[in-house]
Amino acid sequence: MPILRILHLVGSAYNDFYCDLSRLYAQDCLAAMTDRSHYDFQIAYITPDHQWRFPPSLSPEDIADTKPIPLSDAIQFLTAQNIDIVLPQMFCIPGMTHYRALFDLLKIPYVGNTPDIMAITAHKARTKAIVEAAGVKVPRGEVLCQGDIPTITPPAIVKPVSSDNSLGMALVKEATDYDAALKKAFEYSDEVIVEEFIELGREVRCGIIVKDGELVGLPLEEYLLDPHEKPIRNHADKLKQTDDGNLGFAAKDNKKSWIVDPNDPITQKVQQVAKKCHQALGCRHYSLFDFRIDPEGEPWFLEAGLYCSFAPKSVISSMAKAAGISLNELLITAINETLGSNKTALQN
């Protein structure tokens, strides 16, 4: 069986934050993939000036020593590399859409969801509308542009329609708090979604992977919240800035988040709803969804996060590990689903 040539698509043509975020996860993935008996890795690193680099590693030194080239030269280079499959690690909207579409044009397959699905799920209101039409509970909400007045009576959640990691999100408890919350949210998007606040029972994420064409629900991840002291998760719960100015992972331990016991009745209930979301959105290979569990135990859809970096600290990787699926097996499963009958199936 030949070794597969895998291209890690890293960086961001949008801004430095997303560029650093992508590099953080991709570095973690590359460091963890020590078994190279199945595949050979290459790296494409894109920066906010839209230049491409093909460094031997993602160390600052190797990136600095690699000559930047424009897209036209990058395409010429890529087509000469005999790449079998791409592993997208870009989290900005252009990275999740335009750059994936480029590989569709080049007829190089990639792991993960297609640009049209990524574009839909990057817009929280459109995603909610699709899953609601499939029978999934969603909080009542409205989309506002600059100057619009919210009609939802607080408490309410205000968030940009197209940002991740809780950037620009706020809990509004009184109507007088709306102005400040909207001003902050509009810093990240031209549209803002305001939705009713679902009282806290629990908050969980559910990952779905596709194996042999079947949807497999992974163990849930639950987050430490408190109805009075900490009713929602914020940006600081997800990412942090290290002393040297770089991005780092917020602490991932069993104090702030943990894997839910598979025997917990909520697991099967949420997995069924997550599979419904996966199918309604037309996802492939894998998906990830956030749910608020109300005090009566009913799951409410919050948002979709259709990416997996295959880094050990990536959420889907953590869930898979709890299910006894190694990182290598998770990647091989995704590769086999991507390539289908075009390649001999890899074995773990």
pLDDT tens-digit readout, 73-105: 999 999 999 999 999 999 999 999 999 999 999
User: Which residues in the chain belong to E strands, given as ranges?
Assistant: 4-11, 39-46, 52-53, 85-88, 141-144, 156-160, 170-172, 192-196, 202-211, 214-217, 221-223, 239-241, 247-249, 257-259, 286-293, 299-304
Name, in order, each residue with C-beta under 8 angstroms of 107's C-beta and a sequence gap of 6 or more.
none
- Cα-only R_g, the chain: 20
Residues 76 and 93 in one domain: yes
Band of residue 254 on the pLDDT scale cut at 50, 70, 90: low
Provide mean pLDDT across the span 201-218. 96
Looking at residue 3, its pLDDT comes to 85
Provide mean pLDDT across the span 268-276. 98
Beta carbons of 11 and 45 less than 8 angstroms apart: yes
Read off the CATH number of the domain in which 164 is found. 3.30.1490.20
Residues 172 and 209 in one domain: no
Residues 290 and 219 in one domain: yes
Helix (H, G, I), strand (E, B), or coil: what is residue 322?
Answer: helix
For residue 204, is it within any domain? yes
For residue 209, is it within any domain? yes
CA-closest candidate to residue 276, choices 131, 152, 60, 157: 131
- How many domains, the chain? 3
The pTM of this model reads 0.89
For residue 134, is it within any domain? no
For residue 294, is it within any domain? yes
Q: Which of 65, 96, 112 is the last residue of a domain?
A: 112
Beta carbons of 77 and 69 less than 8 angstroms apart: yes
Could you tell me how many residues make up the chain?
Answer: 348
Residues 107 and 45 in one domain: yes
The order of strands in the sheet holding 39-46 is 52-53, 39-46, 4-11, 85-88
Residues 239 and 190 in one domain: no
Looking at residue 238, its pLDDT comes to 52
Name, in order, each residue with C-beta under 8 angstroms of 136's C-beta and a sequence gap of 6 or more.
273, 276, 277, 280, 301
For residue 146, is it within any domain? yes
Q: Which domain holds residue 206?
A: 199-306
For residue 81, is it within any domain? yes
Read off the CATH number of the domain in which 210 is found. 3.30.470.20
For residue 52, is it within any domain? yes
Residues 299 and 227 in one domain: yes
Cα angle: 33, vertex 310, 280; to 5 degrees:
155
Residues 211 and 172 in one domain: no
Residues 15 and 83 in one domain: yes
* Segment 296-325, tens digit of pLDDT: 999 999 999 998 989 998 999 999 999 999
* Segment 115-172, tens digit of pLDDT: 999 999 999 999 999 999 999 999 999 999 999 999 999 999 999 998 766 788 999 9
